[in-house]
Amino acid sequence: MEKSEAARDEWPHLMAQAQAGDSQAYTRLLKALVPVIRSLARKHIADDVLVEDVIQDVLLTVHRVRHTYDPASPFLPWLMAIAHARAVDALRKRGRHQQREVQNSEHADEPVFAANMEPPSHDELSTLLDQLPARQRQVIEHVHLREMSLAETATHNNLTVSAVKSLLHRALTTLRRLGAHHGRS
């Protein structure tokens, strides 16, 4: 029997010890699982960063559901089911994220004010910005007026980049609506 097979045969025993509260056995098990999880994740995912995210997610899931493992059952199929589910979740999440980026970028180059309208003066722009909710106004000011990156804006406002994108999208939509009314005045 190869060394790796012998180690795999030890996994149910290590998990049983971990379930009984042996933190050293649990640490040994988790360390032994990382290369196996990486290999399983790479079967579904080519992106190394996403693979590392899946590894962390699998380890967290193993920790959260470790009480469900039956030491009398084979360990690897249990682990493979978790790894497969987390890999699929990561791919779905990435697909949704990419789809949102494409949808958001479709409107990114649209001007806030129609081409046949004069851009608002500084005072008019201030009036329009004042009509936005505070967080949306802050995000617009940081990203478009101070030219901060989305990440910098997120850090500065104690938000996630996704939240900044959402607030920015809402603010620009509101400004487009307000700008249309501005042109009719």
The 3-state secondary structure of 82-105, one letter per residue = HHHHHHHHHHHHHHHHHHHHHHHH
Q: Region 98-104: what's the mean pLDDT? A: 48
The answer to whether 45 and 55 are in contact (CB under 8 A) is: no
Question: What are the tokens at 119?
Answer: 């851009």
Give the SS3 label for residue 126: helix
User: pLDDT grade, residue 144 (50/70/90)?
Assistant: confident
Structural domains of the chain in order of their starting residue, each with its CATH number = 3-104 (1.10.1740.10), 111-184 (1.10.10.10)
- Report how far residue 87's alpha carbon sits from residue 134's, in angstroms, rounded to the nearest whole number: 38
Please say whether the beta carbons of 130 and 158 come within 8 A.
no
Q: For tokens 């971990």, name the residue.
A: 18
Instruction: Please tell me the predicted confidence (pLDDT) of residue 95.
Output: 67
Interval 134-162 mean pLDDT? 85
Residue with the bigger pLDDT between 47 and 22: it is 22
Higher pLDDT, 133 or 7: 133
Region 69-74 average pLDDT = 90
CA–CA dist 12, 65 (Å, integer): 14
User: Tell me, what's the pLDDT at 9?
Assistant: 85
Which tokens is 107 given? 């409107």
Taking 3-state DSSP, the helix, strand and coil percentages for the chain, each rounded to the nearest 5, stand at: 75, 0, 25
Separate counts of helices (H) and strands (E) for the chain: 8, 0
